[in-house]
Structure 1
Amino acid sequence: MQTTLENRIEHSEELKNEINDYQLKIDNLNDPDKLDLILQEHGYGRDGEVLHKFEVPEAVTPLEETIKRERSKSAFELFVEFIIGTNDESQ
């Protein structure tokens, strides 16, 4: 019973250390200097080489989908229809 308790305590300590290591790695990703080192460890770039990091833009809706989507009329279109009197409600 005592040995299983000691094994579990030892295992929990190992898990806590592993969690701390992962948290440190996550924190290092926010530091640009450390990020370069992390990328080099994983085979990106060489010592002294400048690595350019870019923000990933939001996904853009495909043009086809945008054109096919039913849209509301612009303020200008509504104004012109009001002046001309060809809005959908009067027909």
Structure 2
Amino acid sequence: MYIGSSIFLIALGAILAFALAPGLIPFLDQQMTGYSLMVVGVIGLIASLVMAAPRRRLRTTESRQATDPGTGEAVTHRETRDTGL
């Protein structure tokens, strides 16, 4: 579900719940249907925004090992790049 369809469901649910006269559609509980559509739209909107958020990753590009001249211990150098904002 995308952001546009979520907003459409919220608007349609608000119209059914608040704007139409009660009993206009005899075989349907308009208020409950409107509230349900608004809840589904809000959940879809939150899910769409979470899925569209930029990801932040740390990527290792190079790893090399050397010895420290002073102590003779092995030292590992890693260069990383932050690919997020």
The structure with higher relative contact order (CA 8 Å, sep 6+) is 2
Which protein is richer in helix relative to its size?
1
Return the TM-score normalized by structure 1.
0.29
Structure possessing the higher radius of gyration over alpha carbons:
1
Return the TM-score normalized by structure 2.
0.31
